[in-house]
Structure 1
């Protein structure tokens, strides 16, 4: 099926060259999108800039109404959206359905937060002066989204921007743009004014390049690799564009000797193997205290062996394909390196068939010298390292430039509190392998990003603070 862009409420790109979107499970073409570039980006920016004048003047209640309508449309079309998502990037259909609900939760949340943007009155030092803080939308926003959560990463960015009174241009990943096209169809059904939300597909270099140099774009919100994030930071300096960056992760998962091991096993399975391990917050480095190491490895491995790998469209599938051959090679290289340096593969450890499926894998007796403990694997591989003390676990957990998510399992409140106080991560799951929620701030420390998405903090990224001093003579 041929899909098109949506700029200023119009279908655009029918005559442009096409980019194929392939199902990683079968390598079949499931759709095409226009291979747009700088010219299409300029059209979208112009439309968003023009519509900002009127959209920014709408009331919070009007913006909330549009968002609530869109939320209802997402939920009533969740089966179709989920199927599109699974076909374009391989995620098991049950997880895709869960993502649609998760994506809609951001729209619902920010429909309400639109009505919670408050200013302030500051006590004046002079009798004839009044001092106020006003909140204003930042302007045109460019939202650059990744392939692994193609719908939720759109709504997590677009919903607060729209609620704040901004207008948006969406640039989805070339790997999974089809769900973005369907999202725009629902935007049209929700009767959003033309130009408020726009979609461009095609060359990242050309489209993002235009977004970065065009002065009409005042805000960039991006989810992706730290390497690309650093490039955007450099490019933003020319115009001092505002940035929100959710970048790479390399999450440690600490299991102390007083943890509920069965709960810890369930937590790691949920965190590590969701979306075949292709999530920025999934457990990448598992540190287990010596007293419970053997018990955890045994119970965890037994659970992993039960996971079913297959086409995401099959309801029984727990783990779908990796996104492409490059991802498969990276996972294989990480496992091979660990083997060569003395680690033991307990279960899994190899490619399945000729495609891009990889066995859910557990590796024990790993150490910090192995690549898998130094780099984000982005695959269904769980490396486990034994630690003697909580101090050792903290030191190993923090020994990375990343600081997105971390996990700790302990039943001792005082112990858990002290450990978390020393962890340099923006998100911590304490006895919880799935901490993400629309009402909570999401973002990282160190090289894992700038700013927060979700929660009431998610609105701040799209608002300017204006101080007004009023003379009353």
Structure 2
């Protein structure tokens, strides 16, 4: 039986009234959800791609039409400003769904392969088949787009889904489930296509161990490692989108104003609580001071608050704010200087930190090596491109990155040299909004890809089909082995070496 829960505000200790569906889902109920999803899979996977796309187009339309309501839920759960929620969550999700609907059929169609000269009497084909039930564990920082991204990829590919949203932002997860419920009620089918389970981390652990056929997790490295360890017990495949310490390299010939504005947006949107945020900047010495001056000028004009009319909102929860404060205090104790911001404040009842620019930083400081995940922009002067690239790659992470400049050859050198799954040139974070581009990290930033053809195919199992073309009575390598086979093979090697 489920137990209803309440949540205490971490800043005011007031009890927050939760939606009645926000419960600590029991192990038994998780298992039942997976069983229902498996029954639904038998129906959903039998549909053609076009049939699945028509159903999901109804979900997309409902999401777009319900944007105001969805935004209200996101703002309530996260503390971000409404415009951010609308643009970075709702719009991005709608566009991703539209891209999958337009391109998914071709991406998942059987692919013919060239058998080569020696196997010309055969034909080969690659097929992409759904796994079955996909378990998804989504984070709190972008609770709509980072749950809907893997959900819709799984569904377009023919899977069904059980999703566990973050316990920090459960109402957005409930709202996601309601979208699919409403469309199911409208068409009278597919009621168990997407099921939402809620609760603390142990519910996610139960989901991973519940017999799902694939797991998609977005969150911290530590939790991602725990997910992978649990999934390994049953060899359940995983997609992990984990943390980042994303570098920005500013070359001497960069457009200073554009680079500065990009740095400010990349560092402070969603109060810095973005896995692909600009977390550290390396600027060639020739333009370090004018770049810094422009960044400080722009930052000083930002408006932080709750509701419309602000550039950024609150930090979502106190635990993350405390991590950011610890990173700031560590850096300052080691000689870093606050060039802008740096103060704690309350935004919409949540403990937050001002947009902060930090200088005199180095890699002895946690703020330059560990994921900060808050509104802090550390800027470091470097001698040249080589030093910038070395420092940018001096990290266990490799999610997003950017390089800014005018010389095409220099931009290409740095982009090729950055150890990251994503590189933006004269821009930042935009790679995630390009639905056709696969998104994911290297090193400790994750395994696998979301978005694009690669993201869609990651929700499928690859099946290879080899077919005989001519129906001969025997093959030359079949038994009994012909006496000439050995000599023929040696002659072949001479010809093909």
Q: Deviations over 1:61-93 (max 9, x none)?
A: 101101111111111010110011001111111
Partners in 2 of 1:273 and 1:25 — Cα distance?
25
Q: For the structure 1 residues 26 and 381, does the alpha-carbon distance in structure 2 shift closer, same or farther, using more than 3 Å as the test?
A: farther
1:60 pairs with one of 49, 52, 57: 49
- Identify the match of residue 58 of structure 2 among 45, 69, 94: 69
- 2:440 aligns to what SS in structure 1? coil
SS at match of 1:405: coil
Pick from 16, 35, 38 the counterpart of residue 3 of structure 2.
Answer: 16
Q: 1:343 aligns with which of 324, 328, 336?
A: 336
- Aligned to 2:466, what secondary structure does the other structure show? strand
Partner residue of 2:455? 458
Structure 1 residues 334 and 466: alpha-carbon distance in aligned structure 2, compared to 1, 3 A threshold: same
Which structure 2 residues correspond to residues 124-203 of structure 1 after superposition, within 5 A?
A: 124=115, 125=118, 129-191=122-184, 193-203=190-200
Corresponding residue number in structure 2 for 1:413 = 408
SS at match of 2:452: coil
In 2, distance between residues paired with 1:156 and 1:295?
39
Q: Give the TM-score normalised by the residue count of structure 2.
A: 0.88
2:109 is matched with which residue? 118
- Following superposition, the deviation at residue 234 of structure 1 comes to 1.7
1:355–1:244 CA distance, 2 compared to 1 (3 A): closer
| Bigger strand fraction | 1
Whole-angstrom CA distance in 2 between matches of 1:126 and 1:297: 62
Distance 2:152 2:259 in 1: 34
Tell me, in whole angstroms, the C-alpha distance in 1 between the residues paired with 2:95 and 2:354.
32
C-alpha distance in structure 2 between counterparts of 1:198 and 1:48, whole Å = 8
Alpha-carbon shift at residue 237 of structure 1 (Å):
1.7
Q: Structure 1 residues 293, 119: CA separation in 2 closer, same or farther (over 3 Å shift)?
A: same
Deviation at 1:130, TM superposition (A): 4.1
Q: In the TM superposition, what is the alpha-carbon distance from 1:321 to its structure 2 partner?
A: 1.7
Q: Secondary structure at the match of 1:287?
A: strand
Structure 2, gaps ≥5 residues long = 472-497
- Paired residue for 1:327? 320
TM-aligned CA distance change 1:27 to 1:418, over 3 Å: farther
Aligned: 1:446 with 2:443: yes
Partner residue in 2 for 1:7 = none
Question: Aligned-pair distance for 1:319?
Answer: 2.1
8 Å Cα contact 2:71/2:86 also seen in 1: yes
Tell me by how many angstroms 1:128 deviates: 6.4
Aligned to 2:241: 246
Specify whether residues 22 and 54 from structure 1 end up closer, same or farther in structure 2 by C-alpha distance, changes over 3 A only: farther
Contact 1:139 1:218 in 2 (8 A): yes
Pair 1:342–1:42, CA change in 2 (3 A)? same
Please say if residues 255 and 409 of structure 1, whose CA atoms lie closer than 8 Å, have aligned partners that are also in contact: yes
* 1:273-292 pair list within 5 angstroms: 273-292=268-287
Q: Give a deviation string over 1:163-190, Cα, whole Å, max 9, x none.
A: 1100100100001111121122121222
Q: CA deviation at 1:27?
A: 6.3
TM-score by structure 1 length?
Answer: 0.92
Matches of 1:468 and 1:21, distance apart in 2:
56
Q: Counterparts of 2:397 and 2:456 in 1: how far apart (Å)?
A: 24
Once the 2 structures are TM-superposed, how far is the Cα of residue 50 of structure 1 from its aligned partner?
A: 1.0
2:34 matched to which residue of 1? Answer: 45
Q: Partner residue of 1:9?
A: none
Shift of 1:204: 2.2
Count how many residue pairs are aligned between Structure 1 and Structure 2.
Answer: 456
- 8 Å contact 2:166–2:200 — kept in the other structure? no
The answer as to whether partners of 2:266 and 2:428 remain within 8 angstroms in 1 is yes
**Is 1:24–1:321's contact at 8 Å kept on the other side of the alignment?**
no
Contact kept in structure 2, 1:19 and 1:35, CA below 8 Å: no
Q: Secondary structure at the match of 1:427?
A: coil
Structure with higher Rg: it is: 2
CA shift for structure 1 position 446: 0.8
Aligned to 1:3: none
The question of 1:404 aligning with 2:395 is answered: no
Shift of 1:157: 0.3
Please state if 1:317 is matched with 2:310: yes
Deviation digits for residues 393-413 of structure 1, max 9, x if unmatched?
A: 000000011000011111111
Equivalence for 1:93: 82
When residues 317 and 203 of structure 1 are mapped into structure 2, their CA distance, relative to the original with a 3 A threshold, is same
CA RMSD of aligned residues (A): 1.9
1:303 equivalent in alignment to 2:298: yes
**Structure 2 residue corresponding to 1:222, chosen from 214, 217, 221:** 217
Tell me: CA distance 1:260–1:20, structure 2 relative to 1, closer, same or farther (3 Å): same
Stretch moving more, 186-195 or 55-64? 186-195
Gaps of 5+ in 1: 1-12
Counterpart position of 2:421: 426
Q: Is the 8 A contact 1:404 1:444 kept in 2?
A: yes
State the SS of the aligned residue for 2:213.
Answer: strand
Post-superposition CA distance 1:370-393 (Å, at most 9, x none): 110011111111111110111000
Deviation at 1:114, TM superposition (A): 3.1
2:114 and 2:341 map into 1 onto residues whose CA distance is 65
Following superposition, the deviation at residue 30 of structure 1 comes to: 5.3
